[in-house]
Structure 1
Amino acid sequence: MAHRPDFENKGKYRIFFGLNNEFTICYNDTKPISNNSWQAVNPLMKNLPIFMMQLSILIALTRILMLVLGPLRQPRFLSEILAGVLLGPSALGISALISSIISPFEGTLLLETMANLGVTFYMFLVGLEMDLTPIRKIGKTALSVSIAGIILPSIAGAGLHSLVRQQQKSTIRSPVMGAFFWSIALSVTSFPDLARILSDLKLMYTDLGKTALTAAVVSDLSCWFLLVVIVSLINGQQELYVAILVLFGMTIFWFMMRPFIYWTLKQISATSKESSTVDKHVYFILSLVLLCGYITELCGAHSMFGAFMLGLMIPGGELGISIMDKIEEYVVGILLPPTFMITGIRTNLEYIFADFSVGLVLLVVFLACCAKIVSTLLICLYFKCPKRDSLALGILMNTKGVLALIILNEGRNMKGLEQQTFSCIMAALMVMTIIIGPVVSFTHKSARHMKQYYHSNLEKSKPEAQLRVLACVHSTRNVSGLINLLQFSNATRKSPITVFAVHLVELAGRASAMIIFHDKSKTTDSGNNATREKAEAEQIASAFESFENDNHAVTVQPLTAVSPYASMHEDVSNFALDKLANIILIPFHKQPNAVGGWTDENLQHKQVNRNLLATAPCTVGLLVDRGLTSTFNQESQNGMRECRIAMLFVEGPDDREALAYAWRMAGTPSLILTVVRFLPGKDVSESTDNFEDEFDQSGILTAMFEREKQKQLDDDYLNEFRFRTMHDQSIAYIEKQVNGGDQIVSTITSVYNDFDLYVVGRGNGIKSPLTAGLSNWSDSPELGPLGETLTSTDFESPPSVLVVQQSATLPTGSKKLKMFGNSSHSAMETFVNHRRSDDGYY
């Protein structure tokens, strides 16, 4: 146990009563003599260089820690708070020379001023990106988790603070009101930091992620309400009427300014459609942030409360997006770091043990970490949720982040926390943050680790089995083609189709990926509260719901994924795993024009498609839509016009997968399916040896064996298809011998050129002598040689093309699949059934 000093010398500073709520610092400061009444040296010019040095060192140290802790799945917040602690008296600040240079006491005033300004603008951004929509649709589990996550941690915080206070050997103990700040700090769940963690772990769009985000919104709002009351009571010398007046004033402020902002934005959008009009009002809103902060300071509360309320009042449309894009990086990267510096200076881990034993400190940290976890576990077990998800949810609700620091610093500013108790609770917050990423990653990545060895393929399923489709759309232009393709997929009561319609939205300039919730009751936001993404998402959801209403054997679940294009394929793959999809349907990155060419090529969408084809856990269908909608809606004299579909079979697993999907489509009324198998002619057979010379000599036998194996699989699957469809008049099977890619193209253009849709395999990883010449000039390898040929060949009426690829091959660890032995399929079936039984339990 450390000895508690009465004073401490640090270079030119002498600190008296360094452990108490208040302490005195004495130092000599020489000032130049001036005959004028005004001082000769501007204090701002003296402290500003110190602030710039502190900010530069803090940002550089934070970046270094992010590089070190990033692979350990630690959030940015931990790097920021550790950087502040390392620069404080707990580490580098021990040295009198370093502390006098990096964190001199005379520069603290400017540092705290900038920290308060940063907190004010940060809370404005928190309110701006917080969506209150989930509160209207909150479920019993999320509501119960949020309520229990406030009550039990509040009791634990008060109890632990009382325990620590009783163990203090100081003559001046921690004030009783510090228990309120401990309670609120343990109860709060930082919504922005939780959203970032869920986005990094790719759990944002799972049921677990939705429940955590919804509970976090309720928890945040409740804790901020309690903090307003506590701050108002303390500022009002514990007079209750002061808190009532503050809350009454803020309520009037909400109901008066919010309608005015909505009316103003409505008038702006009605008078001008130019985007520059929005930019002109961004600076007015930023000035309004300071005004709202000033008003709440006059009311007796901190300026951050007014800024937070203003952020909640700003609609999430063009104005909200423009504000986030313009100031988010500056606020988070420049204005907010002084808060971490102040927190680090106020944290002295060595002083914790001046009055407390190591066992007591460990007990306090452990109980503080367990409060949220235990409360969440009890609620989830009451609702009979899986234990794995219950544990992960409890740990996720322990996400503290910047909001907890703001609460503790406010308690320190109001003399509710002295250095020992402040440092003790800070140690607990850091431990909470450290365990979140690794534990949740282990509990849920292990489930996906098991599922990744089970790649769903249509070839292995029965044509009449239930089909689970993940239909991805970037915009409303992709909707009609995908819906009509799904209409061809033969949904019946014996073989229903479940469609997960995913709207892919780019995450651009937002700090966290806030999920867009859809509700079949069609509860829409009023006024201008709906953003462009939400409006487009509603149109997409409405189109798929109309498709569901017209087809009683179809179930549709609209979803939205908001992520950067670089990692968007990971969200889609995770959706496919969580929803146990059989096939992912994605649109081609080019849009057709009226003359048969292409327009509006989106290279980012192209990269998403390529990444998805390389990593997808199930079958992928890439649709090149060139009029599939008009074909389906045309009617003939006998009713609906027949739709003619051709499946072109060459060889390999992708072609078998394409045939499996075409087989599924064959039962659709008014649909004619023609399967054309291209077989190698005599010339191709004679040149096979030359073709095999392209392989390395050591791999010739392996390549020959694999080719024979695939050929046998092709023959077996085609024979089964022919046997089971031999009496179906809507299905025709044809074999054609060709000697190369040129003959395939000529055969298609001369004989098979009048089809509405072509279904082909991508041929990924297959070097076929029949298509070898087609891939020499490939511009879109994601279509495969045959698919690209069909999209580039001149047809009188350009057809639509569906390119199918079997689930991506495991890059490494294929041997691990053998560990399941012969029971792997049954074990995975048990797992799949368990997951399906848990769908929607939140």
Structure 2
Amino acid sequence: MATAANQAGVFGGMNPTAYNASDPLILFIIQLVLILVVCRALHYPLSYLRQPRVIAEVIGGIVLGPSVMGHVPNFNATIFPTASMPIVTLVANLGLVFFLFLVGLELDLAMAWKNLQISGSVAALGMAIPFALGVGVSRGLYNQFHTEEATQQISFGLYALFVGVAMAITAFPVLARILTELKLLSTHVGTVVMSAGVLNDLIGWILLALTVALVNASSGIVVLYIFLVSCAWILVLFFLAKPGLRYVARKTGSFENGPTQFMMLTIFMLTVASAFLTDIIGVHPIFGGFLVGLVVPREHDFPKKVTEKMEDLVTLIFLPLYFALSGLKTNLGLLDNGVTWGYTIAIIVIALVSKVIGATAAARINKLLWRESFAVGVLMSCKGLVELIVLNVGLNAGILSERVFTMFVVMALVCTFVTTPVTKLVYPEWYQRKLALWRKGEISWDEMNTRSGTRAATEEGEEAEGEGVQVAEERKDEAAV
């Protein structure tokens, strides 16, 4: 009878919100559309504040989750029943693997190597101080919350390692978009931040992989096996898969004409295979996707062409689903006492201030001006989606309880939210113009201290540039005659 009703659809009395394990598509479409609509609606006003989309996606999940809509009777039980969540999680995690592939594809290791001295020091000091303070605050978090429901009984050392990584990580993909939005990508500050962000991400993912492997391992010998197999797979990717991808790209004309269907299928299969391997050995599937992104050939602007093929589907459909899931798992009602809020504020302050101090000091040591150094420090404090991925890994691995997960989600939102406005405050456009004119020798250092001097110099420069263009055009006309 139920089958007949399902075949007849809503006209046969079928309830589209009722979860059916044999046909979960209908409820999944409702969930997907609802998440996308809510996230887009929230992103519209937040975009005027130049906030990245991930902020709206997480807040959308929080609104749809137990913190807000969960108070509406039967809302979560009807729209997001527990039995349906594995399907949503599966699709979101598949999208996450390909997003991490795109992150690896975006990383320019050559740029990081070229600016190794300054980017290395900014990444190192910008990670070391937050990591150390994160380890410090983890002692209180461990004593207070590590025995809560759904957490593994792990040692304090592993817990401290994870919290340190969560404090030290920088969101490279969000960082790139913020720099583009603020028109800083081609500036000296942008180059330093991008190079340091590459190194920060690499170190952060390595430490996270180590933490997950240690948590999943039952003994020291298992950790050794995980490490050896991981190293072997990395060597296979760099010394066999990378030349293989280059060969296929040349044979199919993908370098010259863009990736063919066969080329994209090859990349897709390698990404899935890498995710499968890293998952079954006890690391995490996202690392497999990330590694394949690193080994895709860089010739002929090939990464950009591959990104154009995949980016919209991943960032418009899969990522909102994943980060909305993070919001659905976030229950602000668990922050229900002074101790919990005290730890939350401490986490926010440590994550933000320590990152700014470390990266700023490193930039200043490398002879950047104070405002440039502060801009580097503030930008490196951006957490965003990478932080949320790290936190979800910790929650799923049983390292974090739901309460501590919520604390860190609040921290990630605050750190990401303040990045753009504070960067504009410490490194405004008028100062950037002033700095460019001073470095060209068009204004003196004394004029650097006044905005009026900068404005006058800018107007003179624009006037001279206009006169130069006019003279050039006149000469061009004379030559034509």
Fold similarity call, TM over 0.5: yes
1:161 equivalenced with 2:138 (yes/no): yes
1:39-90, CA deviations, whole angstroms, 9 ceiling, x for partnerless residues? Answer: xx99544433222212111111111122101111211121111111111111
Which of residues 339, 342, 349 in structure 2 aligns to 1:366?
A: 349
**Structure 2 equivalent of residue 344 of structure 1:** 327
C-alpha contact (below 8 Å) 1:75/1:437 kept by paired residues: no
Distance in 2 between residues matched to 1:44 and 1:440, nearest whole Å: 49
Q: Structure 1's 262 and 379: CA in aligned 2 closer, same or farther, altered over 3 A?
A: closer
1:351 CA drift (Å)? 0.6
Distance in 1 between residues matched to 2:303 and 2:177, nearest whole Å: 19
C-alpha contact (below 8 Å) 1:124/1:307 kept by paired residues: yes
With normalisation by structure 1, the TM-score equals: 0.49
Which of residues 40, 60, 79 in structure 2 aligns to 1:102?
A: 79
Structure (1 or 2) with the greater helix fraction = 2
**Structure 1 equivalent of residue 280 of structure 2:** 298
Which of residues 228, 239, 251 in structure 2 aligns to 1:248?
A: 228
User: Where in structure 2 are the equivalents of 1:44-59 lying within 5 Å?
Assistant: 44-59=21-36
User: Where in structure 2 are the equivalents of 1:706-717 lying within 5 Å?
Assistant: none
Distance in 1 between residues matched to 2:136 and 2:27, nearest whole Å: 41
1:582 CA drift (Å)? 8.4
Q: Structure 1's 179 and 271: CA in aligned 2 closer, same or farther, altered over 3 A?
A: closer
C-alpha contact (below 8 Å) 1:88/1:344 kept by paired residues: yes
**Structure 2 equivalent of residue 441 of structure 1:** 424
Distance in 2 between residues matched to 1:185 and 1:618, nearest whole Å: 50
Distance in 2 between residues matched to 1:182 and 1:165, nearest whole Å: 10
**Structure 1 equivalent of residue 298 of structure 2:** 316
Report SS of the residue matched to 2:410: helix
Distance in 1 between residues matched to 2:306 and 2:432, nearest whole Å: 40
1:181 CA drift (Å)? 2.6
Instruction: Tell me the amino acid that sits aligned with residue 217 of structure 2.
Output: G
1:267 CA drift (Å)? 3.9
Instruction: Tell me the amino acid that sits aligned with residue 403 of structure 1.
Output: V
Distance in 2 between residues matched to 1:342 and 1:88, nearest whole Å: 9
1:184 CA drift (Å)? 1.1
C-alpha contact (below 8 Å) 2:119/2:195 kept by paired residues: yes
User: Where in structure 2 are the equivalents of 1:265-664 lying within 5 Å?
Assistant: 265-268=245-248, 271=251, 273=253, 275=257, 278-317=260-299, 319-354=302-337, 356=339, 358-445=341-428, 447-448=430-431, 451=434, 617=462, 619-620=464-465, 657=468
**Structure 1 equivalent of residue 449 of structure 2:** none
Q: Structure 1's 149 and 799: CA in aligned 2 closer, same or farther, altered over 3 A?
A: same
Which of residues 41, 49, 52 in structure 2 aligns to 1:64?
A: 41
1:253 CA drift (Å)? 2.1
**Structure 1 equivalent of residue 62 of structure 2:** 85
1:148 equivalenced with 2:148 (yes/no): no
1:124 equivalenced with 2:101 (yes/no): yes
1:302 CA drift (Å)? 0.9
Q: Specify every segment of 5 or more residues in structure 1 that has no aligned partner in the other structure, as ranges.
A: 1-30, 33-40, 457-465, 469-575, 584-616, 621-653, 663-756, 761-786, 791-797, 801-842
C-alpha contact (below 8 Å) 1:123/1:307 kept by paired residues: yes
Q: Structure 1's 279 and 421: CA in aligned 2 closer, same or farther, altered over 3 A?
A: same
**Structure 2 equivalent of residue 628 of structure 1:** none
**Structure 2 equivalent of residue 210 of structure 1:** 191
1:647-699, CA deviations, whole angstroms, 9 ceiling, x for partnerless residues? Answer: xxxxxxx5x5567x67xxxxxxxxxxxxxxxxxxxxxxxxxxxxxxxxxxxxx
Which of residues 461, 475, 478 in structure 2 aligns to 1:759?
A: 475
With normalisation by structure 2, the TM-score equals: 0.83
**Structure 1 equivalent of residue 53 of structure 2:** 76
Q: Structure 1's 190 and 244: CA in aligned 2 closer, same or farther, altered over 3 A?
A: farther
The worse-fitting range, judged by mean Cα deviation, of 146-155 and 194-203 is 146-155
Distance in 2 between residues matched to 1:277 and 1:360, nearest whole Å: 49
1:613-660, CA deviations, whole angstroms, 9 ceiling, x for partnerless residues? Answer: xxxx5654xxxxxxxxxxxxxxxxxxxxxxxxxxxxxxxxx5x5567x
Instruction: Tell me the amino acid that sits aligned with residue 127 of structure 1.
Output: G
C-alpha contact (below 8 Å) 1:146/1:216 kept by paired residues: yes
Instruction: Tell me the amino acid that sits aligned with residue 197 of structure 1.
Output: I
C-alpha contact (below 8 Å) 2:54/2:320 kept by paired residues: no
C-alpha contact (below 8 Å) 1:158/1:180 kept by paired residues: yes
Instruction: Tell me the amino acid that sits aligned with residue 799 of structure 1.
Output: A
Report SS of the residue matched to 1:89: coil
Distance in 2 between residues matched to 1:385 and 1:276, nearest whole Å: 40
Report SS of the residue matched to 1:396: helix
1:199 CA drift (Å)? 0.4
Q: Structure 1's 272 and 327: CA in aligned 2 closer, same or farther, altered over 3 A?
A: closer
Distance in 1 between residues matched to 2:109 and 2:146, nearest whole Å: 46
Which of residues 220, 237, 245 in structure 2 aligns to 1:257?
A: 237
**Structure 1 equivalent of residue 12 of structure 2:** none
Q: Structure 1's 618 and 310: CA in aligned 2 closer, same or farther, altered over 3 A?
A: farther
**Structure 2 equivalent of residue 224 of structure 1:** 205
1:766-817, CA deviations, whole angstroms, 9 ceiling, x for partnerless residues? Answer: xxxxxxxxxxxxxxxxxxxxx7xx8xxxxxxx839xxxxxxxxxxxxxxxxx
C-alpha contact (below 8 Å) 1:121/1:289 kept by paired residues: yes
Instruction: Tell me the amino acid that sits aligned with residue 207 of structure 1.
Output: H
Distance in 2 between residues matched to 1:271 and 1:416, nearest whole Å: 47
Greater relative CO, 1 or 2 (CA 8 Å, sep 6+): 2
Distance in 2 between residues matched to 1:77 and 1:277, nearest whole Å: 29
Q: Structure 1's 232 and 169: CA in aligned 2 closer, same or farther, altered over 3 A?
A: closer
1:359 CA drift (Å)? 4.3
Query: What root-mean-square deviation, in Å, do the aligned CA atoms of Structure 1 and Structure 2 show?
Result: 3.4
C-alpha contact (below 8 Å) 2:39/2:320 kept by paired residues: no
1:364 CA drift (Å)? 3.2
Q: Structure 1's 657 and 219: CA in aligned 2 closer, same or farther, altered over 3 A?
A: closer
Distance in 2 between residues matched to 1:265 and 1:287, nearest whole Å: 12
C-alpha contact (below 8 Å) 2:146/2:401 kept by paired residues: no
**Structure 2 equivalent of residue 524 of structure 1:** none
* Structure (1 or 2) with the larger CA radius of gyration: 1
Instruction: Tell me the amino acid that sits aligned with residue 361 of structure 1.
Output: T
1:255 CA drift (Å)? 2.5
C-alpha contact (below 8 Å) 1:455/1:618 kept by paired residues: no
Q: Specify every segment of 5 or more residues in structure 2 that has no aligned partner in the other structure, as ranges.
A: 4-17, 443-453
C-alpha contact (below 8 Å) 1:189/1:220 kept by paired residues: yes
C-alpha contact (below 8 Å) 1:392/1:443 kept by paired residues: yes
Distance in 1 between residues matched to 2:204 and 2:124, nearest whole Å: 11
**Structure 1 equivalent of residue 14 of structure 2:** none
